[in-house]
Amino acid sequence: MEKLKVSGLSERICKDGGSAWGVLVEARKRARAGQDVLILSIGEDASATTPSHIVQAGVASMNDGRHHYSSVAGEPAMREAIARHHTRMTGQVAGPENVCTFAGAQNGIFSAGLCLFESGDEVIIVEPYYSTYPATFTAGGANMVVVTARPENNFEPDADEIAAAVTPKTRAIVLNTPNNPTGSVYSEALIKRIVELSRTHGFWIISDEVYADFVFDGEHVSPARFCDVEEQCVVVSSLSKSHRMSGWRTGWAVASAPLTDVFEELNLSMTYGLPPFIQDAAVAAIDGPQDDCREMVLGYGERAKLLVKALDDIPGISTVAPRAGMYVMVDTSRVAENAEAFAWALMDQHNVSILPCTAFGSNVDHFLRMSLCASMDDLYRACEAIKLTASTFTPA
Ligand SMILES: Cc1ncc(COP(=O)(O)O)c(C=O)c1O
């Protein structure tokens, strides 16, 4: 059959993210077939639900008839709540005129790239990166310029290497701190230097901060702390992780008022706004009690500490301890040629699914990303499987 003719944009977003996700696909297939599979390859605990006061706010809103078209950039109460939340999280003063809602942070970062980049622009991306970034930021024809963050520096990129990557074509840098997959939290000095570089060279900062609430060692520093909201910095975030609301698709971008107006125009022709009852639930999440979320993050920190210790005790295996987020990076380079082979062996021999990091960039293809979204018993069970699998590999 003749190959479907699609646009250049479609071809760029259909680039294969690698075979890494095959392990997860296989795990889900086995689980559907009734097998007992331990899935530690995604950042979500399917059994942990959205806090009940948020669900109740959404249900009450639906019962109140809040299920019609809404404002395209977001309901006034939602934009105000996000502006308050943003100021609390970043220290930057912003108002509702700086907020545009999106269907999750993913929709927000895609929109930022689409609205800011021309074909041929360069966008600096730190590797390892969240797996959707290549398609997201090159969709409009921009080229990715990769700066590597190394495990020996706790996956924090080097400021001089970022400066060296800047060219007259640089249109933006994408930051993701706290970082997925590495759990690194960028220092204030690094963030300040990047803000200076962006001012000197006139490029944008797109800051993906979906894990801002997930810091258990250190402090989240947003570039927005050092800029005025009308400068060239866009902060994208959501409630997907912080309030276990991934399926509600509640995200946003905070940016200068003129860029926010452009986002609104894009929304007009893209989603026509988020459902009002979902926005009401989101306002309840932002303004309501936060104890549940705080407890959740403490739990991640505790499990990360115990898991790192257990993994580091396994012969041939080591970790780079996360300071935030939902994952631990597991280095398999001393036992296996690459992490994909190791992940498939884990799957085949023990029905344990852990993601090989090939989808996050080539400098981490000997790492696995192990999710902390499970009980400690399950995480120890996975460690036992890793230990047995490691013993079956010939040291590399
Ligand atoms: C770094 C990063 N950015 C963006 C997203 C997408 O978030 P959302 O569910 O709000 O679209 C994720 C989800 O895992 C992520 O890890």
Give me the mean pLDDT over the 46-56 stretch.
91
- Burial of 263 per CB tally in 10 Å (0-12, 13-18, 19+): buried
Confidence of residue 15 (pLDDT cuts 50, 70, 90): confident
| CATH fold for domain 8-49+292-392 | Aspartate Aminotransferase, domain 1 (3.90.1150)
- 130 CB under 6 A from ligand 1? yes
For ligand 1, the distance from its centroid to the CA atom of residue 3, given in whole angstroms, is: 32
Confidence of residue 396 (pLDDT cuts 50, 70, 90): low
Contact 327, 370 (CB under 8 A): yes
For ligand 1, the distance from its centroid to the CA atom of residue 251, given in whole angstroms, is: 9
CA-proximal residue: ligand 1, atom 6 (nearest): 106
Nearest to 299, CA basis, from 379, 356, 222, 236:
379
pLDDT score at 19? 67
Q: What is the pLDDT of residues 184-236, one digit of tens each?
A: 999 999 999 999 999 999 999 999 999 999 999 999 999 999 999 999 999 99
Q: What is the pLDDT of residues 311-338, one digit of tens each?
A: 999 999 999 999 999 999 999 999 998 8
Place of tokens 């500490």: 305
- 177 CB under 6 A from ligand 1? no
Contact 49, 373 (CB under 8 A): no
Confidence of residue 46 (pLDDT cuts 50, 70, 90): confident
Q: What is the pLDDT of residues 16-43, one digit of tens each?
A: 655 678 899 999 999 999 999 999 998 8
- 238 CB under 6 A from ligand 1? yes
For ligand 1, the distance from its centroid to the CA atom of residue 395, given in whole angstroms, is: 35
- 90 CB under 6 A from ligand 1? no
Highest CATH level, class, for 52-287: alpha beta
Q: What is the pLDDT of residues 55-102, one digit of tens each?
A: 999 999 999 999 999 999 999 999 999 999 999 999 999 999 999 999
Q: Which atom number of ligand 1 is nearest to the Cα of residue 180? A: 1
For ligand 1, the distance from its centroid to the CA atom of residue 335, given in whole angstroms, is: 31
Q: Could you give the dihedral angle defined by the CA atoms of residues 18, 19, 23 and 26, in that order, rounded to the nearest 10 degrees?
A: 120
Q: Which atom number of ligand 1 is nearest to the Cα of residue 246? A: 9
The domain ranges of the chain are 8-49+292-392, 52-287
pLDDT score at 393? 84
- 182 CB under 6 A from ligand 1? no
